Amino acid sequence: MKSTTKLLFFFLVLSLSIQVQAQRCGAFIIKGDRYISYKGTADKRYELNSVMKFPQAIYVAHYLDSCGIGLDQRVTVKKQDLEQNTWSPMLKMIDEEREFSYGELLALSLQQSDNNACDLLFKLCGAPKDVQNYLRNLGFKDIRIKWTEKQMHSKPRRSRDNWCTPSDMAKLLNWFYCDRQSSPILMYIWDLMLNCETGNNRIKAALPPGAQLAHKTGTGFSKDKTLRGINDVGIVIMPNGNYYPIAIFIKHTQREEEVAEIARLLLSP
């Protein structure tokens, strides 16, 4: 009887381990009227990491348009008010203080994943709860943004509270592609994402010749600085003009190439 119990326990642990491993990688792609999930992970939750900066940018476009604020309007930024121990290329651009336009802040946040630029946009345009409410009003219930970059930096476990499902992220990307021409600011964001400077070994590495990618990456780190999560979400424009919103999230990995491997599977005919 004891041996039978031990055997059942072994198979239960093995089954749970297999399920956890299968959910370590989550991905979803929209190909016209086909919705394709990677190993049934479309509705599982994954940490956003810096992918958060994409839905935030969508909200910022709404805020600027609603307030009649142009991309060229400038704000003064003091270096002493910024986080110093974080990923922030803009720190090297400031001696004591400098003016930045909203367009420059969006470019720093989306193209270089600058954490200070992201938090300045939260401060200037609306807190995480405002971004969250806007997304919900658009109909996206499975994208949650609760904390700023600074708040996550002070307590890294908070990054778990900023999450999405691959399916809702891909659907937001689809909404963005279809609505981008409704606003000059959305078109500006589109151009920024077409020229994203991060993640060349991720989805971009899986593209066929002649294809384009507008995307945003995200990377999480553990306490010992080893990679914890690697994400990439974007819109693939195929040479024939077809477009495919795609979202890929991988937990607990040190290999960027895993993103490209999954992308090749999902992009294959």
Tens of pLDDT, residues 190-203? 999 999 988 999 99
Mean pLDDT of 18-28: 69
Least confident span in 19-28, 137-146, 176-185: 19-28
Mean pLDDT of 91-96: 96
Q: Are 198 and 112 in contact, with CB atoms under 8 Å apart?
A: yes
Helix, strand, coil share of the chain (percent; to 5): 50, 20, 30
Query: Quick check: is 107 in a domain?
Result: yes
Query: Quick check: is 7 in a domain?
Result: no
Cα atoms in the 13 Å half-sphere on the side-chain side of 100: 22
The Cα–Cα gap between 265 and 237 comes to 16
Query: Quick check: is 175 in a domain?
Result: yes
φ and ψ at 124, to 5 degrees?
-85, -35
Query: Quick check: is 47 in a domain?
Result: yes
> Model confidence over 224-240: pLDDT tens digits?
566 578 999 999 999 99
Query: Quick check: is 13 in a domain?
Result: no
Domain, as residue range, for 99: 27-267
Is pLDDT at 21 greater than 80 in this prediction?
A: no
Is pLDDT at 111 greater than 80 in this prediction?
A: yes
Query: Quick check: is 82 in a domain?
Result: yes
Is pLDDT at 223 greater than 90 in this prediction?
A: no
Distances, alpha carbon 198 to alpha carbons 48, 71, 110, in Å: 16, 23, 9
Q: Report the share of the chain in percent with pLDDT over 90.
A: 81
Is pLDDT at 208 greater than 70 in this prediction?
A: yes
The closest alpha carbon to 172, from 210, 132, 212, belongs to: 132
Query: Quick check: is 153 in a domain?
Result: yes
Q: How confident is the model at residue 6, as a pLDDT?
A: 46
Q: Are 189 and 71 in contact, with CB atoms under 8 Å apart?
A: no
The overall average pLDDT reported for the chain is 90
Is pLDDT at 9 greater than 60 in this prediction?
A: no
Within 80-213, residue ranges assigned H as helices are 102-111, 115-125, 128-138, 149-154, 166-179, 184-194
Structural domain total, the chain: 1
Query: Quick check: is 21 in a domain?
Result: no
pTM of the predicted protein model? 0.89
Is pLDDT at 17 greater than 80 in this prediction?
A: no
Q: What is the CA radius of gyration of the chain?
A: 20
The Cα–Cα gap between 247 and 268 comes to 15
Q: Are 206 and 29 in contact, with CB atoms under 8 Å apart?
A: no
Within 24-68, residue ranges assigned H as helices are 53-67
CATH code of 210's domain: 3.40.710.10
Q: How confident is the model at residue 222, as a pLDDT?
A: 62
